[in-house]
Structure 1
């Protein structure tokens, strides 16, 4: 009896087990296959390595070398099949998978660029074709292009070509239809054109326009500003427009104009050295002329000058004063200090190359001497100042050669940063040997620096700056007579190292 019951239980268990196995088995009558091929729409050539996928997701395969594929064991139902390959248009086809059968689909794909029409050519607006007297700082304007597919993807390129030497200014990836361009050369014929790209098609170019920039304006003064950490030389026109002459990529300073040769000389950092350069009044043709560098205790304080005929320049190199031709070459020593002091500044009387005014000092910039020296007789003709504490600078001859300007910190303050507390402008008469303080209008807590005579000798141009470190300098003009109560007036804000010729 027990054996019969045991046998019955075993048979019952086997029956249940068999029933469960039948439930888990995939019914082949509920699946099918998706086959197909991918070809080029234009010439029907096969496309290999196209990615094939479905939605709802099944499996992903890639076409073979013949452009064919197969998705096996796909459950019956409705599917969207996608063929995709980079650079080609993605393609979708709907299919119905039936049991125990294969459904075939053919994809025709084409290059994406074929379906993307190029944007319309932009229209140049400003400057107009054949426009003249265009400012050297100008805002170029063109009409907005259109693109049927994606307006936001458009990028413009502006090209400005010098008609004389074919040099090209190129500005890329502009998303607006306006571009400010600065520092075009004066009196130049240019061509300009704008192109547009949608990132798919070749760039489409506008018409080619031409224009001519205005002539270089009349200049009254030169000065220096700090731009991105570098000294940059500017010119000031009689209309009070500021015209940049040197690049902010270079450290250029101390502009000195000579009307005889119509050149501007200036100092520029070249590696670890400082050299003399010349350029045309419009900033073109910048050339290094010195082979022996300029030297001194502080390059911000060192100054040079032209000879009276403009054929040469004189500049200090520590204890030596060199002369060099304005075209380069002919370098020679014309003066040397006898006590080892450093030459910081020099001024040449414009009617007599033999008469020079000098400032010398020690390695810290102090213990300064201000004197006039005759290169012909090798004699100090006038010892204007010596044995006084404090900083001294800014020497210049009057046009008549009978007066000398310079500055001195009357507080006699001396420190490693060469800070000045109360620098004032002094006028020394070589005939009467009288020294006069002409900074009567100076505000307390400021310094007057770098004075230069006007071409007539009736006025001076100079820098005034608060005596705290990193203060903003300003260039002023004032009457030379301290007793006429004429106020000084502001010429340029944020500027220094003025020149007035």
Structure 2
């Protein structure tokens, strides 16, 4: 009985094994596709050799050849992650989908391992370098393209500066392939940052590392003057050494008639920014603008000209109708220094550096009704120096030693209600009323001399030259030489286009 049971158990086992062997066994069939491509350097768009290519799921490991090409003949179909690696470059991982039985292309760019900013790789900054000081306000920026393409696209740049005073950005040139650009109108004694924005055919790569620089201090012995720009009066300075013209004011109102303080730390000027013609002061770089006058410059035919600094730079005198006002340079302690003769208003004035004298021009109801007076600097003893004559007399100013007064007069004798002059020439007269005569300065017929002013060095005059009241004017300076008691000549040199100079 026991043997029969054992035999039966063996038979059942054999039958089960036979059934299992006969049953179809299922298994997965893996499908493949080809993965190939080219690996390039992001830095210079050149092919990279020796880049290791691996995949997940795992396939054959291959390396790029001399033209950056790789090919993996059997990569499992479906979603695959490919990794490219090479010494000196950052590893790059990219997901892709492999299609069964097809050649799948995946091109990549590798970034240098030391690179944190691709813009710094394609652009080399030359000038100004980070931390540069004493830079001119007309500054040339210089850079070099290490590569003209990025990922096969042409590179261009935009130059951007930032004022560290206002934190405002200025784009000076955009989307250029140039390697240099000169920026004008930077402020003196100012801190700036700058960078290049780099793009490749509209795709932004980034910006070069920001660099900082400081501009030079305000030069000494600057010429300041008025010039019309964008149909508006603005104040400029000119450095004769570097021949750089610098716009000091940038305001929608009219700013004109600049006069430097004798201490050369400020410029006073006239502006209608408060609607009336008032006097303002500012530093030579255009900062710290402060209104000084409270009563406006006004009077017969006076549209806002004629004021003067005291020799020590502490006060300013200016005309207000028939009153000559003296005010502290900060705008305090305004007093009436003198009153014009009856029926006349003050128009123009100057304060001698030496001799404690003030010279003033007065006008009547007609602009050509002009007289020149001299007084002590406390307003006493005002007496006539040059009387009214046919033709307009204008702009009296002292010599350096205060012994002579220079002025202009229209030798044509025209008495034009609108103030037009046809032949304004330069004259001089001693403060005691003697030795009045014309200064022989060459000019062509029809030209007029305007706004003469003694040079700060005391060796000559600066003035503007133009045709009547129309057209642009040019600033000149002239060294004066007395050839006899009654003859003075001047050798004139043109400087720059402008008006109302002070040097």
Q: Shorter chain as normaliser: what TM range?
A: 0.5 to 0.7
Contact 2:307 2:316 in 1 (8 A): yes
Q: Note closer, same or farther for the CA distance 1:302–1:200 as it changes in structure 2 (3 Å cut).
A: closer
**Aligned equivalent of 2:39:** none
Query: What is the deviation of 1:294?
Result: 1.7
Separation in structure 2 between the aligned mates of residue 293 and residue 498 of structure 1, nearest angstrom: 22
Aligned residue for 1:393, secondary structure, equals strand
**Residues matched between the structures, number:** 381
Query: What is the deviation of 1:261?
Result: 6.4
Q: Note closer, same or farther for the CA distance 1:440–1:239 as it changes in structure 2 (3 Å cut).
A: closer
- Are residues 1:494 and 2:497 paired? yes
Query: What is the deviation of 1:348?
Result: 1.5
**Aligned equivalent of 1:344:** 347
**Aligned equivalent of 2:454:** 453
Deviations 1:179-211 (A, max 9, x none): 432222234443222223569867622112222
1:256-295 to structure 2, matched below 5 A, reads 256-260=259-263, 262-295=265-298
TM-score by length of 2: 0.67
Aligned residue for 1:365, secondary structure, equals coil
Contact 1:458 1:480 in 2 (8 A): no
Q: Note closer, same or farther for the CA distance 1:117–1:160 as it changes in structure 2 (3 Å cut).
A: farther
Q: Note closer, same or farther for the CA distance 1:242–1:421 as it changes in structure 2 (3 Å cut).
A: same
Separation in structure 2 between the aligned mates of residue 299 and residue 243 of structure 1, nearest angstrom: 29
Separation in structure 1 between the aligned mates of residue 454 and residue 479 of structure 2, nearest angstrom: 10
C-alpha RMSD of the superposition: 3.3
Deviations 1:337-358 (A, max 9, x none): 24132211011123465x3211
Deviations 1:325-369 (A, max 9, x none): 11222223222224132211011123465x321111124312111
Contact 2:234 2:255 in 1 (8 A): yes
Separation in structure 1 between the aligned mates of residue 298 and residue 201 of structure 2, nearest angstrom: 54
Deviations 1:78-135 (A, max 9, x none): xxxxxxxxxxxxxxxxxxxxxxxxxxxxxxxxxxxxx999995262343233334322
Query: What is the deviation of 1:429?
Result: 0.9
Aligned residue for 1:217, secondary structure, equals coil
- Are residues 1:182 and 2:179 paired? no
Separation in structure 1 between the aligned mates of residue 289 and residue 315 of structure 2, nearest angstrom: 16
Return 312-321 or 224-233, whichever deviates more: 224-233
Q: Note closer, same or farther for the CA distance 1:449–1:480 as it changes in structure 2 (3 Å cut).
A: farther
1:82-97 to structure 2, matched below 5 A, reads none
Contact 2:129 2:213 in 1 (8 A): yes
1:46-445 to structure 2, matched below 5 A, reads 120-121=118-119, 123=123, 124-143=125-144, 146-148=149-151, 151=154, 156-163=157-164, 165=165, 167-171=167-171, 174-176=174-176, 177=178, 178-196=180-198, 204-239=206-241, 241-250=243-252, 251-260=254-263, 262-298=265-301, 302-351=305-354, 355-374=357-376, 376=378, 378-381=380-383, 383-431=384-432, 433-439=434-440, 441-445=442-446
Query: What is the deviation of 1:223?
Result: 2.3
TM-score by length of 1: 0.67
Separation in structure 1 between the aligned mates of residue 364 and residue 340 of structure 2, nearest angstrom: 11
Deviations 1:452-496 (A, max 9, x none): 223454422222223473254342313152657855222313222
Contact 1:234 1:242 in 2 (8 A): no
Contact 1:233 1:253 in 2 (8 A): yes
Contact 2:262 2:309 in 1 (8 A): no
Query: What is the deviation of 1:220?
Result: 4.7
Separation in structure 1 between the aligned mates of residue 182 and residue 110 of structure 2, nearest angstrom: 30
Q: Note closer, same or farther for the CA distance 1:373–1:117 as it changes in structure 2 (3 Å cut).
A: farther
Deviations 1:59-89 (A, max 9, x none): xxxxxxxxxxxxxxxxxxxxxxxxxxxxxxx
Aligned residue for 2:440, secondary structure, equals coil
**Aligned equivalent of 1:479:** 480
Contact 2:368 2:417 in 1 (8 A): no
Contact 1:228 1:248 in 2 (8 A): no
Q: Note closer, same or farther for the CA distance 1:475–1:212 as it changes in structure 2 (3 Å cut).
A: same
Q: Note closer, same or farther for the CA distance 1:125–1:289 as it changes in structure 2 (3 Å cut).
A: same
Separation in structure 1 between the aligned mates of residue 468 and residue 166 of structure 2, nearest angstrom: 49
Deviations 1:151-188 (A, max 9, x none): 4xx7755443345x462332177111554322222344
Aligned residue for 2:471, secondary structure, equals coil
Separation in structure 2 between the aligned mates of residue 316 and residue 404 of structure 1, nearest angstrom: 19
Larger proportion of strand: 2
Contact 1:347 1:357 in 2 (8 A): yes
Contact 1:349 1:399 in 2 (8 A): yes
Contact 2:374 2:431 in 1 (8 A): no
Any gaps of 5 or more consecutive residues in structure 1? 1-114
Aligned residue for 1:438, secondary structure, equals strand
Any gaps of 5 or more consecutive residues in structure 2? 1-107, 112-116
Separation in structure 1 between the aligned mates of residue 358 and residue 458 of structure 2, nearest angstrom: 18
Separation in structure 2 between the aligned mates of residue 300 and residue 473 of structure 1, nearest angstrom: 21
Contact 1:407 1:423 in 2 (8 A): yes
Q: Note closer, same or farther for the CA distance 1:401–1:273 as it changes in structure 2 (3 Å cut).
A: same
Separation in structure 1 between the aligned mates of residue 242 and residue 410 of structure 2, nearest angstrom: 32
